[in-house]
């Protein structure tokens, strides 16, 4: 391919990927499946690698981060980034509205918007290209965080119109991302973030931009600088205009006239707050006409034409009855407060994580203390403080345990971790947690093998490590609580299917420290089988793109253990696949009867999960889509298949039932 042809294709790919990215991250309305986006992205990566001079700043490939900054430069805000004044009751809100009416001399509608609990940011575009981003700072001077903002997929690198403009908004961490981040940090023995806002702020100020890229941040833009340049006269017009440029604007805003409509909006979103995918802590009221903004102006700190109504905290008092300590897969021992049940944000809460010993000490939580309980980010139950006035006179400081609650081994602090750890490799609690991880969806995907069943298998002595799962018998499973012939056979089938998984699933399932799904995939693809991986030197692993010293040391140390070498030998003996099956280029895939077919799955499958069937087909070269068309080569259907089956019959598409599909899988082993 010559440079001219490559340049034309790169332009087309960038436009397509940016469009798909906006549909997914901004509009919440994707038009293509993930694998379609991924294939186009990989094509763009390969072209830019071949023609690096054609790589531009607005390319989707520039979002991944990787730059390590030495610090953040200061940015002067020519027009100050003001904060909002706060009110805490509807009466105070009515007083604000009355003052604004007196100052403006007229009645007008308000733009009511959700108050996103995040970090204020400013974005600057020149001729439609993103060139600079900054924090609010003190309102006059902020910090240049351009490189970190480039990693956020909700921020377009190129607008739909070639405008030169500054816009402002909020960067936030979605609730789901916040929960996942804290869970990961807690498992590693790291301090957790108190709320999504703190998590977003900490993520934006990372000097390593690749860390920011992994935090799944998002944005809402709500303020247009110099709106007169674009001929808009109201806040709602400005929001619509910014949305038309491709910026992510919150769609829950509403123009309200009069106190009744405003209070109805507040009541509505106070109820909806727990169900939103992001955290809000109130409602923002802005005079809808910009003419009012100009007339009443600002104070040094706040605009006179806007106010923030803060929701009252949903906080309840309860009594701590016990503190339980649990052992995780990596040996981290975590305290949990057990309390009298209370209703909080619509759900009954009676347990709250205390995270680590330092947290417990700092809060000075004692047994039988009355505590105030709320939900951090509307999600995670959290004790905010002890009600000292209600503390029993004989309450004593809680004694931090020194021995593992599961195996009685001595607990230790590793490095500078805040967490306590049990480092006994034979600790039964760690082994059971490891087995649950081994069976999980992203690992060996053994459906039906949950913690309750693992606990029974372990306590009966049927299993001691992951390889023992493949030695289980039908008769053993029938001794488990509530297990009959059908459920026993179903679990055995799931275990048997997992023998055929590609190596990367096994590597992730082993729970090697610092090796997630991506690192497992890279290692498996590079070394092809477990023998080569187990013999790999640290320098061989660090030579692989995207794998650093920490992962290399962890992998080499793990496989150097005699117990691990014995475990891998056991896996081989029980028929677990120890090779990489590839994703589309191996001879096995090329020889598969599913290779290069467009396949649709429909109906209820009894013997294989839909996700497993899809993964198998894609691993054997098929393209799995969601709808039947003239391009569909094969429909695989379970029972109760509906319109897709009827359409396939009309089009004359080849149809395969579940039994035929499973038989074909067996033939291709």
Write out the binding residues.
34-38, 83-84, 113, 136, 170, 286, 310, 404, 407, 422, 427
CA distance 567 to 573: 10
Question: Measured between alpha carbons, how far is 390 from 12 in angstroms, rounded to an integer?
Answer: 67
Q: Looking at the DSSP assignment, which residues form a beta bridge with residue 234? A: 289
d(C-alpha 625, C-alpha 604), whole Å: 16
- Nearest alpha carbon to residue 578 among 587, 590, 569, 591: 569
Question: Is 556 within 8 Å of 541 (Cβ atoms)?
Answer: yes
* Alpha-helical runs (H) found in 512-609: 517-527, 530-534, 538-542, 549-559, 562-573, 587-590
Phi, psi of 300 (to 5 degrees): -65, -30
Of 275, 352, 340, 281, whose CA–CA distance to 310 is shortest?
281
Check: CB of residue 17 under 8 Å from CB of residue 156: no
Tokens representing 190? 């790291």
List the structure tokens of 227. Answer: 């709106």
Helix (H, G, I), strand (E, B) or coil at 478: coil
Distance CA 536, CA 556 (A): 7
**382 and 376 in contact (C-beta within 8 Å)?**
yes
Name the token pair of 42. 């990989």
Distance CA 267, CA 614 (A): 44
d(CA 656, CA 382): 52
- Residue by residue, DSSP assigns 502-522 as -HHHHHHHTT-TT--HHHHHH
Q: Which residues carry a binding-site annotation for Zn(2+)?
A: 404, 407, 422, 427
Q: Cα(537)–Cα(540) distance, rounded to whole angstroms?
A: 5
> Which residue is catalytic, options 14, 90, 115, 432?
115
> Alpha-carbon distance 1 to 54, whole Å?
14
Strand-pair partners of 113: 284
Strand partners, 310: 282
Question: Known catalytic residue: 115?
Answer: yes
**Strand ranges (E), 93-242:** 110-116, 119-126, 129-135, 141-143, 165-172, 218-224
Of the candidates 484, 491, 485, the one whose C-alpha atom is nearest the C-alpha of residue 469 is: 491
Per the CB < 8 A criterion, the answer to whether 140 and 80 are in contact is yes
HSE at residue 244, side-chain half, CA atoms within 13 A, is 11
Q: Which residues pair with residue 147 across a beta bridge?
A: none
> Which DSSP state fits 464?
S
Write the DSSP assignment of 337-379 as a string of letters.
EEEEEEEETTEEEEEEE--SHHHHHHHT--TT-EEEEEEETTT
DSSP state of 397: P
* Active site residue ranges: 115
């Amino acid at each position: 391919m010559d440079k001219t042809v490559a340049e034309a294709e790169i332009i087309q790919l960038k436009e397509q990927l940016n469009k798909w990215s906006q549909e997914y991250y901004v509009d919440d309305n994707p038009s293509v499946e993930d694998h379609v986006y991924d294939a186009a992205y990989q094509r763009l990566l390969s072209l830019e690698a071949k023609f690096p001079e054609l790589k531009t700043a607005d390319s989707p490939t520039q979002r991944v981060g990787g730059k390590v900054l030495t610090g953040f430069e200061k940015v002067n805000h020519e027009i100050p980034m003001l904060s909002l004044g706060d009110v805490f009751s509807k009466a105070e809100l009515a007083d604000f509205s009355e003052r604004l009416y007196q100052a403006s001399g007229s009645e007008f509608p308000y733009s009511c918007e959700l108050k996103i609990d995040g970090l204020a940011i400013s974005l600057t575009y020149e001729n439609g290209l993103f060139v600079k981003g900054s924090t609010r700072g003190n309102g006059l001077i902020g910090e240049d965080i351009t490189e970190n903002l480039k990693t956020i997929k909700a921020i377009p690198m190129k607008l739909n119109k070639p405008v030169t403009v500054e816009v402002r908004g909020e960067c936030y961490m979605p609730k789901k991302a916040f929960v996942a981040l804290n869970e990961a940090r807690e498992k590693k023995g790291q301090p957790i973030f108190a709320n999504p806002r703190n998590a977003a702020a900490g993520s934006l100020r990372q000097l390593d931009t690749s860390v920011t890229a992994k935090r799944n941040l998002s944005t809402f833009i709500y303020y247009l600088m110099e709106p007169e340049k674009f001929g808009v006269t109201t806040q709602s017009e400005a929001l619509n205009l910014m949305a038309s440029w491709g910026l992510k604007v919150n769609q829950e805003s509403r123009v309200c006239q009069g106190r009744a409509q405003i209070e109805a909006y507040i009541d509505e979103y106070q109820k909806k707050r727990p169900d939103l995918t992001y955290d809000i802590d109130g409602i923002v009221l802005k005079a809808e006409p910009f003419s009012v903004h100009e007339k009443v102006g600002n104070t040094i700190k706040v605009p006179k034409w806007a106010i923030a109504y803060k929701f009252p905290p949903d906080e309840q008092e309860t009594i701590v009855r016990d503190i339980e300590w649990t052992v995780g897969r990596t040996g981290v021992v975590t305290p949990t407060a057990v309390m009298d049940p209370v209703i909080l944000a619509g759900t009954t809460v009676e347990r709250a994580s205390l995270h680590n010993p330092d947290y417990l000490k700092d809060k000075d939580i004692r047994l039988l203390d009355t505590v105030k309980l709320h939900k951090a980010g509307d999600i995670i139950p959290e004790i905010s403080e002890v009600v000292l006035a209600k503390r029993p006179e004989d309450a004593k400081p809680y004694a931090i345990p020194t021995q593992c609650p599961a195996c009685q081994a001595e607990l230790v602090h590793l490095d500078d971790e805040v967490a306590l750890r049990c480092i006994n490799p034979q600790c039964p609690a760690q082994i059971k947690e490891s087995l649950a991880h081994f069976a999980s969806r992203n690992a060996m995907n053994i459906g039906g093998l949950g913690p309750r069943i693992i606990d029974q298998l372990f306590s009966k002595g049927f299993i001691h490590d992951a390889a023992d799962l493949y030695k289980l018998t039908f008769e053993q499973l029938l001794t488990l609580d509530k297990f009959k012939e059908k459920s026993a056979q179903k679990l055995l089938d799931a275990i048997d299917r997992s023998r055929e998984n590609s190596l990367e699933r096994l590597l992730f399932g082993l729970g090697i420290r610092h090796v997630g799904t991506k690192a497992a995939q890279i290692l498996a693809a590079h070394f092809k089988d477990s023998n080569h991986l187990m013999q790999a030197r640290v320098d061989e692993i660090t030579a692989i793109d995207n794998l650093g010293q920490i992962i290399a040391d962890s992998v080499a140390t793990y496989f150097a253990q005699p117990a691990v070498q014995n475990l891998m030998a056991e896996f081989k003996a029980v028929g677990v696949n120890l090779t990489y099956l590839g994703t589309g280029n191996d001879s096995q895939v090329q020889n598969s009867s599913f290779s290069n077919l467009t396949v649709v799955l429909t109906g209820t499958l009894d013997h294989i999960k839909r996700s497993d069937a899809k993964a198998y087909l894609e691993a054997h070269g098929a393209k799995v889509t969601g709808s039947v068309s003239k391009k569909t080569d094969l429909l695989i259907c379970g029972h109760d298949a509906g319109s897709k089956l009827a359409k396939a019959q009309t089009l004359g598409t080849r149809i395969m039932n579940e039994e035929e599909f499973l038989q074909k899988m067996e033939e291709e082993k």
